[in-house]
Amino acid sequence: MYNVEEIRKDFPILGREVYGRPLVYLDNGATTQKPRCVVEAMTDEYYNVNANVHRGVHFLSQQATELHEAARETVRRFLNARSTAEIIFTRGTTESINLVASCFGEACMREGDEVIVSQMEHHANIVSWQLVQARRGIRLRVIPMNDRGELLLDEYERLFNDRTRIVAVTHVSNVLGTVNPVRRMIETAHAYGVPVLVDGAQAVPHMPVDVQALGADFYAFSGHKVYGPTGVGVLYGKEEWLDRLPPYMGGGEMIDHVSFERTTFAPLPLKFEAGTPDYVATTGLARALDYVSRLGMDQIQAHEQQLTRYALERLRQIPGMRILGSAAEHDAVVSFLVGDIHHLDLGTLLDRQGIAVRTGHHCAEPLMRRLGVEGTVRASFGLYNTQAEVDALVEGIERAAAMF
Ligand code: PMP
C-alpha cells in the first residue's frame, strides 16, 4: 500500500509554512526534498567516520572507502549495470554529459562529424556539444518534434549518415514531460553502429531504469533530483566505451603511476574520478536510492502518473488554460500558460499562496522557440505530492487569474 501521508512524515520540510500558508512544493523537476534517512546518514558519516577515501591505511579511511564503494554498488544495482567499473561518480547530470562530450569528442570525433540531439534537450545536452563543435568543428543535427511534443522518429532515422558518431537524447523532457522511446531510438542508432548517451535527469526519479534493458551506452543522472544530496551524480557507461575514452580531468586518485616523463592511469571507474570525491554525498545518494527502492519505483511511478492525470484533467477546465505537451507517454511534469498572463506573474502569485512552481525557459530555450513561447509555468510532481496539493494548485491559478 502506497501511503502518501505516512511517506510525507519522512520529509521534515514538507511540514513548514511559507507566507503563513502550508508549503505546496511542486518544483521537483528542479530539485527534490530529502528524507530524514539521507540527511541522517550524511550527518552520521561526518560525525563518526569522516576521512579521505582510497588513500589512508588507517581505520577511518578504510571505513569511509567501504561506504563510498558500497554506494557505487547500490547505484549499480539500482540501474542494473553489469559492473561497478561502469559507475562513475560526478557532480551531476551536467558534469556527466560534459564528461562524455569532452572525452568522446576528443577520442572519436573529427571535423565534419555529427552528433544527433533532439529539439527538447536541456541546455546541458546542447551547450556541451557546442563546446566540442567549437574545438573540433563537429555538427549538431536536431531531431524535430510534433506539436504534441513527441519526437519524429522517421525524421530521426533520416539524420543518420556516415558522419554520425553519437546520439545524445533526453529520456524525459523537463518541460513537456514527454517520455521518449529511448529503447527504440537506441536500437535504431545501434543499427547504424552509433552509441547513445541518455540524459536521465528527469527519468530516474520517476520510473524504473534498467540500463542493460535500454541498451544505453551512456546514462546520466543527478542525485539531488532523486531525493539525494546536491553535488553528486552518476555517469553510467558501458565498460568497452569508457575504456576507449581518455580521462576527463587529471589529478589524484585517477592515476596508476606518475613521473614527469610518463603517467599511467588507474583502471575504471577511478580513471574518471580525479581528486577527492564527495564521498559523504555518495553515501547520501545510496540511502536515497535505497529509500525509493523500498517504496518501489513501480509504485512511485503509479502514484505520480495518477497525480499527473488528475492534474491535467483539472487544469484543462481552467478558462484560458494552455498546456504545453500532450505526448501519449507523459511523465510527472506539466507546463502551462493561462490566457495572456506572463509566466513570471503567475508563478509569483502562486508563490504568495505557498505554492512553489518553476517559471521561465527551464534551460531549454530552443524548445521554447519551437513552442513559440518565452517561458512557461511548470508544476512537477514527486513521490510525496498529493491530490489535495493539485487542488491547491488549481485553486491558486484560479485565484491568480481572477486578479487579471
Ligand atoms: N537534463 C535535464 C533533462 C534536466 O532536467 C536537468 C536539470 N534541470 C539537467 C539535465 C541538469 O541537471 P543538473 O543541474 O543536476 O546537472
Q: What is the CATH number of the domain that holds 121?
A: 3.40.640.10
Provide the pLDDT for residue 13. 98
Last residue of a domain, one of 294, 317, 341: 294
Q: What residues are in contact with ligand 1 under a 6 Å CB criterion?
A: 92-94, 122, 124, 170, 174, 199, 201-202, 222, 363
On whether the pTM is more than 0.75, the answer is yes
A 10 A CB-CB count for 81 gives 24
pLDDT in tens, 49-102: 999 999 889 999 999 999 999 999 999 999 999 999 999 999 999 999 999 999
pLDDT value at position 196?
99
Q: Report the nearest-CA residue for atom 12 of ligand 1.
A: 93
Looking at ligand 1, which atom is closest to the CA of residue 171? 3
Same domain, 224 and 373: no
Cα 325 to middle of ligand 1, angstroms = 19
| Pair (280, 360) in one structural domain | no
Nearest CA to ligand 1 atom 14: 94
Place of cell 572507502: 65
Assess whether 127 and 197 both reside in one domain.
Answer: yes
Mutate to test the pocket of ligand 1, among 28, 90, 93 (most ligand atoms within 8 A of CB): 93
> Among 294, 324, 340, which residue terminates a domain?
294
88 and 144, same domain (yes or no): yes
**Ranges of residues in the chain whose predicted pLDDT is under 70:** none
Distance CA 404, CA 271 (A): 57
Q: Which of 94, 119, 128, 285 to mutate to test the pocket of ligand 1 (most atoms within 8 A of CB)?
A: 94
What's the gap in Å between 96 CA and the centre of ligand 1?
10
CATH number of the domain enclosing 326: 3.90.1150.10
Q: How far is the CA of 201 from the centre of ligand 1 (A)?
A: 5
Per the structure, the complete domain to which residue 263 belongs is given by 39-294
Let me know whether 224 and 352 are in one domain.
no
Both 271 and 342 in one domain: the answer is: no
Question: How does DSSP classify residue 246?
Answer: P
Q: Is 363 a residue of the active site?
A: yes
CA of 272 to the centre of ligand 1 (A): 20
Dihedral of alpha carbons 347, 350, 354, 355, sign = negative
**pLDDT value of position 283:** 98
| Sequence-separated (6 or more) residues with CB below 8 Å from residue 90 | 96, 99, 220, 232, 233, 234, 235
Query: Which atom of ligand 1 lies nearest, measured to the CA of 174?
Result: 5
- What span, in angstroms and rounded, lies between the C-alpha atoms of 110 and 164? 11
Domain shared by 281 and 376, yes or no: no
Q: Residue 92 CA: which ligand 1 atom is closest?
A: 16
Of 259, 294, 329, at which residue does a domain stop?
Answer: 294
In ligand 1, which atom is closest to the CA atom of 172? 3
Backbone angles phi, psi at 24, to 5 degrees: -115, 100
What ligand 1 atom has the least distance to the C-alpha of 91?
16
Ligand 1: centre distance to CA 30 (Å): 8
Is 178 in the same domain as 46? yes
Same domain, 326 and 360: yes
For a pocket test of ligand 1, which of 202, 227, 331 has the largest count of ligand atoms closer than 8 A to its C-beta?
A: 202
Probe ligand 1: pick from 32, 170, 171, 174, max atoms within 8 Å of CB?
174
Buried b (16+ CB within 10 A) or exposed e, 25-55: bbbbbebbbbbebbeebbeebeeebebebbe
Strands (E), 238-316: 255-258, 263-265
Q: Which pLDDT does position 55 carry in this prediction? A: 81
Ligand 1 centre to CA of 56 (Å) is 34
Please give the distance, rounded to the nearest whole angstrom, from the Cα atom of residue 174 to the centre of ligand 1: 8
Do 132 and 193 lie in one domain? The reply is: yes
159 CB-contact burial (10 Å; exposed 0-12 / middle 13-18 / buried 19+): middle
Minimum CA distance residue for ligand 1 atom 6:
201
One domain for residues 290 and 300: no
Pair (222, 323) in one structural domain? no
Number of domain units in the chain: 2
From 37, 103, 108, 363, the catalytic residue: 363
Instruction: Kindly report the backbone phi and psi dihedral angles of residue 263, in degrees, each rounded to the nearest multiple of 5, phi listed first.
Output: -120, 140
